[in-house]
A and B are shown apart, each in its own frame.
Chain A
Amino acid sequence: DSGVTQTPKHLITATGQRVTLRCSPRSGDLSVYWYQQSLDQGLQFLIQYYNGEERAKGNILERFSAQQFPDLHSELNLSSLELGDSALYFCASSVSISTDTQYFGPGTRLTVL
């Protein structure tokens, strides 16, 4: 157990719907990262938050958004879902903005039907 928790573990939904994935970082970690792991794209960095503020943006679609709350947990919102959004979504946390050591959560498996 890395100390990073993600809920839900599995999510099955339909095209056009909206879902929210939740991540709680390790105690003391201020930085949260979101990644998408799909079969054809590999691991894609989506976005990073540090202490409530967006710090870096990767290949995140406009239909996706994220935020980090004062208690440092983060949510990734995916809307107007498409079949291609089916993937594993990982959250990772680290102590500071640029710490190399990242602790990954177990992931949320999203299936869009």
Chain B
Amino acid sequence: DQQVKQNSPSLSVQEGRISILNCDYTNSMFDYFLWYKKYPAEGPTFLISISSIKDKNEDGRFTVFLNKSAKHLSLHIVPSQPGDSAVYFCAAVTGANNLFFGTGTRLTVIP
């Protein structure tokens, strides 16, 4: 079974509104979490991360929230822009530096 899950394969949002991408995990021993963004025909690029000891990390328009009790993290993009249209992967890292990826969510920002 997947240790990191992104249950929504796709999401459409109007330009200027908030995009919320969700990720669930099963292993409570993950040390930190990452979000990657992927454009077509390119590899994923790192976006933002959060340590398991924090519940929020913000970088410009991107904020990641971590709810450890629910084993859930989310990426908020505010305001959403058409250039944000991409596939977003969440990933989780153990103390032994093992990395587990979700299956991705395609975000479409409609102008």
Contact = CB atoms under 8 A, between A and B. Distances in A.
Interface residues on B, range: 20 to 34
A59 B43 contact: yes
A88 to B, nearest CB: 6
Contacts of A51: none
**A56, A98, A102, A103: most-surrounded residue (chain B CB, <10 A):** A102
B103 A42 contact: no
A101 B36 CA distance: 13
B40 to A, nearest CB: 7
B36 A43 contact: yes
Contacts of A50: none
A37 B99 contact: yes
Contacts, number: 49
A101 B89 CA distance: 9
A92 B101 contact: yes
A25 interface: no
A90 interface: yes
Interface residues on A, range: 20 to 34
Looking at chain A's contact residues, the main secondary structure is strand
B99 A2 contact: no
A102 B103 contact: yes
A98 B99 CA distance: 23
Interface in B2-48: 2, 9-10, 36, 40-46
B29 to A, nearest CB: 15
Interface string A36-62: 010000111110000000001011000
Given A35-B43, A42-B45, 19 more contacts: A1-B1, A35-B44, A37-B99, A43-B45, A43-B46, A44-B43, A45-B43, A45-B44, A46-B43, A58-B42, A59-B43, A90-B99, A92-B101, A101-B104, A102-B103, A103-B103, A104-B100, A106-B98, A109-B97
Interface of B: 1-2, 9-10, 36, 40-46, 87, 89, 97-101, 103-104, 106
6 contacts: A42-B46, A43-B36, A43-B44, A45-B43, A100-B10, A102-B89
